[in-house]
Structure formats: C-alpha cells, structure tokens
Amino acid sequence: MTRPLAVLVALVATATLAASSTVSAQAPIKIGVIEPLSGPVAASGNYVRMGAEIASDWINARGGVNGRKITLIIEDNKSDPKEAASAAEKLIVRDRVPAIMGAWGSSMTLAAMPKLEEYGVPMVVETSSAAAITKRGNPWIFRISPPSDMEALGLEQYVDRLGVRRADFLAVNTDWGRGAIAAFGDMLKKKGVAVGAAEYMDQAATDMNAQLTKIKGTGGDTLFLTTAVEQITLVLKQAQEQRLARKIVTTGGSSSPTQLIKQAGAAAEGSYHIVFFMPWFPEAMPDAKLARAFVDEWSKRGHPFEGLTEGFRGHDGIATIVEAIRVAGRDEPTAVRDALWRVSLVGVNGPIRFEKDGPTGKESGQSKPSIFVVQIRDGKVALPDFLAKQ
C-alpha cells in the first residue's frame, strides 16, 4: 500500500470510529422495568408502568441525563415469580440494561434477585415489602418502599387512637402477606394488643368466606388486611355480607382507597388504609409542588385517579435510577450501583436516600419512605377520624 493511500485509509478509519463514538454517546440509555402487566395484580403493575412513563417523559423533556435521553424497556412478569426471573435475565442479557426497576410483588422480586447478583446489575425495588429482600444479602438491591416492619412502626403511633385491643389478620399467601402478618403481629404484641387468627388466601382467590367465618368467631375488634386492591374489594364485600363487625386496616399501600369506594361502595365505609402517597391532599406531601404536578400530569393523560397510589412508585423508581446514572456519569451497572449509595433526591413520596441493611459485606440499600394513614368516611377519602378531631 502506498503511503498516501495508507494515510487515507487511516483517516477514514479514524473518522468512522469518531462517528461511531458520537452515535454511541447519543444513544438512549436503556432502563429495565419489570411489572405485573397481566395476571391477578395487573392493575397495580400497569399503574406503576404509567408512573414510570411520566418520569421518563419529564426527564427527556428536560434534556435527559448526561446529555442522553432515556428509554424504558418494559417486561411483564405476569404476576408470576418464574416470569420475573426470566424477565430480569432478558433485560440484562438481551437488552444490556444498566439498571432495573421492579418487580412489584415480593415473591416476584425475590425470584429476580439471584439474576441481579449473577450478572451484576442493580435493581431499584419500588413496591415489595418482604423483609427478606434487603435482609437476605444482595448488594445489587436498593428499595425505596418500606418493608413491612418499617410500615408497622409507622402505624404504631396510631394503635391506641385506633382503639385496637384484639387483632386478626387476613393476608395473601405470598412473601408479602406472610411478612406483613409477622411484622404487624410483632408490633401489636409489643403494644399489648392481643393477636388472634392469622388467615391466608391464594393470590387469585375470589371467595374468602371461609377465612372470614373463622375470623368472625375470634371476638376481635380489628382486622388487618394485606393484599392487592382487587382482592381487598372482594373481602370488604364478603365481610359486609357476613356482618363482620371489625375495624379494617389495609397494609402495604396497595389498597387504592378511591378504587375501593367505586368498587366496594358502602362495604368500604369506615376502613383505614396505610398509603405512601396522598393524591387527595398533595399539599400535605413533603414536596407539595412535585406532588401536585404529578397528580395534574396523571389526570392530563387520562389515567384513572385511583391508580395514583401505585403510579407514584413508578415515577420515584425511575427518578432514582436516573439520578444514580447522573451521579455515576455513565450507564455501566457497577458504576450505577456504587452511585446509588450517593443518591439524595426528593420524590413524590418524599426524600430518597439509602442506608445499609443486611449482612455485613453484602448489604442492600433501604430508604425510609413517608408513611400515611387515610380513612374512607362518608364515601370519600379523608384523614382518619382520630386525626381530623385534633
């Protein structure tokens, strides 16, 4: 090859590499999302997806992160743990995402976690409540939702004013439900409350009359209920039919009180609900301006109001990942994982910062979310009667 030709070839190669590098630098940053978009808890998963899409659109409208737009790669775990593990592997191997948000249910998240450790990719957990998620020892896990024991501690201050003297439990038979009964049971016992029956129901069950009959015979005054909104609706209606005289408190933040008013009607009257976002009172949230903007955007898109108590999770999960990518300066999984420990932002729920939880050397990250209690009163969502009277 002559020298002029060799120089020309070198220049072309250099230009090609430079162009390729520029294109690569401007390529969208992929963020994986795993949610139950079908199956028994599909309503909740789709609301989380809607919130994630709002966050993505807002971030891109502001120029993206580090000069690049983001794109969500969304997988349906079909409300099934095996599907959640498969979805995580697809996102990591096929799509090469630097981080994932998921996977709503605790059993689904726990099933996906070994894949995160195997491939070294972080996941921001937006919903799951089981203590094992952060206690098991997986340094790729960062949870922004409260575990059941943290949620129970948030309710502890209200137990006396709620007048709880003897409590029973009815929960979905998953890691989430079992963990909730353990955490709330422990908290109530420490408060001197008698703990009675602990009943379980399959995730897809529609007839809970047998469990309610057993609970009716305990003489308790309060029923703690842990499951998704679809099943809560059925339990409330069946409890009304059985004339079950109990205060009902739902846990996990997935009750969607507005939806219960529509679907359960009078059967929901008087019930109490632990929530992590109060779209009825955005001015009471830690960042009132952000909360109002999120409610307005949700409404503008025609999404059902009742989905807001789940949708905010999707927003906050994506915002957390994007902030970690910004802090890291690149979309590489280990760098994002390391940056998550330095994240500090305010989401729709409130401040998001991670503290270490789990065995030494393999700690997961756990944030301390805001926790609220609301009540369905006179067919509307209101502050609890014991707070409203203050």
Q: What are phi and psi of 246, to 5 degrees?
A: -145, 145
Give the separation between CA 90 and CA 75, rounded to whole angstroms.
Answer: 9
pLDDT band of residue 388 (cuts 50, 70, 90) is low
The dihedral formed by the CA atoms of 199, 205, 207 and 210, expressed in degrees to the nearest 10: -30
Per-residue confidence band for 23, with pLDDT thresholds at 50, 70 and 90: very low
What's the pLDDT at 18?
A: 44
Taking CA atoms, 331 is separated from 93, 97, 339, in Å, by 15, 8, 11
For the chain, list the strands marked E by DSSP: 29-35, 70-76, 100-102, 123-125, 141-143, 166-172, 194-201, 222-226, 247-250, 272-275, 345-346, 351-352, 355-357, 364-366, 372-377, 380-382
Residue-wise pLDDT for 306-365, tens only, equals 999 999 999 999 999 999 999 999 999 999 999 999 999 999 999 999 999 999 999 999
Write out pLDDT tens, residues 24-42: 458 999 999 999 999 999 9
DSSP-assigned letters across all residues of 180-233: HHHHHHHHHHHTT-EEEEEEEE-TT----HHHHHHHHTT--SEEEEES-HHHHH
CA distance 47 to 227: 16
* pLDDT tens-place string over residues 64-89: 999 999 999 999 999 999 999 999 99
Q: Mention every residue, 6+ apart, whose C-beta is less than 8 A from residue 366.
A: 134, 142, 143, 147, 150, 354, 355, 356, 357
Q: Which CATH superfamily groups domain 25-146+286-366?
A: Response regulator (3.40.50.2300)
Residues of the chain within CATH 3.40.50.2300 domain(s) are 25-146+286-366, 150-275
Q: Are residues 382 and 388 in contact, defined by beta-carbon separation less than 8 angstroms? A: yes
Average pLDDT of 95-114?
Answer: 97
The pTM of this model reads: 0.89
- The CATH superfamily label for domain 150-275 reads Response regulator (3.40.50.2300)
pLDDT exceeds cutoff 90 at 386: no
E strand segments, 262-334: 272-275
Question: Distance from CA of residue 75 to its chain's centroid?
Answer: 16
